[in-house]
A and B are shown apart, each in its own frame.
Chain A
């Protein structure tokens, strides 16, 4: 924790604290918020931090408690966990990736890192070409059961299969996700099928999710209507996006960072 703060201080990134109780529920399709009488608990401090940046335009980070509905038997998930999230104004996609890997190595994960695009990862490990092959056939061949699946679910399945091959004590950066999995990342200006989202793994455990951020409010609203129409659109975020220009952000699961640093197998051991 001290090392993390030292790193951010060294880069002139300000620590902030934003509200934990908000009026909108999780905007991601597969994440459910915990709710209380006063509203919803945050599943990530993303919206609030972007609103802050829209106001004062400064790099900032936060070590936040976040809350997500979870099944109790996952080794890597907790309902209530700690997220380290930070934003750098003016940094682009590639710069943010380098910066995130540098941070992980700084706090002790001194492994070599390699980057691979989402499509290449799936092709190299599973022999499936996302662009031209049938996602459904490929998934069924790999043992996916059940009948109706959305493309997004099939992509999630193939992705989760392919990261199993990652070796321990290595850092892997997965880049250029399909646009269906974009969440709040910016679309790739060179390829409409792809977005500027990245994830960083240590072995096959995902530690970091980052992106060059979406700053088009209308696109945010459109994505919500397609991927999670039942969730509440956060109009304060739409408003904030109008004042944002080039911005990149990253979120790191602090509990998982500890698991990676100390060789812990089950997140519940940290409780």
Chain B
């Protein structure tokens, strides 16, 4: 389905060179008495790279059939991570290449955002913060390491982060998945 520049706005999903993009900026420019253009910034939904493009005002582009849903992580096998959409119980699989970065922070039953293009998952996004258990860490001894006041700890998903020295094994902590950092102890 085609969409014209009149309908351009932030958040619109379109296809360029067979790839899905989301629009992050749309500015109209019109050089003195000349043709008007839409200057847009786009993010490639498959690899997250930003590009700049310009369209003559009035031109049309293919709209991308992109959907964002919330799905619960079930389990992983050799090639895929499997999720379930809690609204309709539909199962989706995202291949390891796309999902592995996000999955460093996700444990079973955790809800994630999944971006679907033409029905296929192309991106998995972990929630901004997650609560995870520390499965392994040494008891903290002050003055022991190069990082003042922190030590490495392994989360139940297998990922290692730095935590304060007072954190012990079996404790639940809140992690910022974007900064990939310990935020606080969890009250759970």
Contacts of B31 in A (CB 8 A): 156, 159-160, 163, 206
Determine the distance from Cα of A163 to Cα of B32 in the docked complex, in whole angstroms. Answer: 11
B contact residues around A161 at 8 Å (CB): 54
Interfacial chain B residues near A31, Cβ < 8 Å: 33
Q: Residue-by-residue, is A70-93 near B (CB-CB < 8 Å gives 1, otherwise 0)?
A: 010111110000000000000000
Of the listed stretches B55-63, B114-122, B127-135, B173-181, chain A binds B55-63
A206 touches B35 (CB 8 A): no
Q: Contacts A30-B35, A71-B6, A199-B32 given: A153-B51 contact, CB under 8 Å?
A: no
Give A161 to B34 CA distance when docked, in angstroms: 13
Count class of interface residues, chain A: 20 to 34
Closest residue of A by beta carbon distance from B17:
A145
B30 adjacent to A74 (CB under 8 Å): yes
CB <8 Å contact, A209 and B33: yes
> Of residues 145 to 159 in B, which have CB atoms within 8 Å of A's CB atoms?
none
Q: Mark B26-42, 1 if CB is under 8 A from A, else 0.
A: 11111111111100000
Q: Are B37 and A183 within 8 A (Cβ)?
A: no
Within 8 A of B (CB), among A114-153: 142-146, 149, 152-153
C-alpha gap A145/B57 in the complex (Å): 11
**B18 at interface (Cβ–Cβ under 8 A)?**
no
B98 to chain A, nearest CB (A): 27
Q: Is the CB of B33 within 8 A of A152?
A: no
Q: What residues make up the interface of B, taking CB atoms closer than 8 Å to A?
A: 6, 16, 26-37, 51-57, 59, 61
13 A-B pairs whose Cβ atoms sit less than 8 Å apart in the complex: A28-B33, A30-B33, A71-B36, A71-B57, A76-B30, A143-B51, A144-B55, A145-B59, A157-B56, A160-B34, A160-B37, A161-B54, A209-B32
Query: Footprint of B on A, CB under 8 Å?
Result: 28-31, 71, 73-77, 142-146, 149, 152-153, 155-157, 159-161, 163, 181, 183, 199, 206, 209
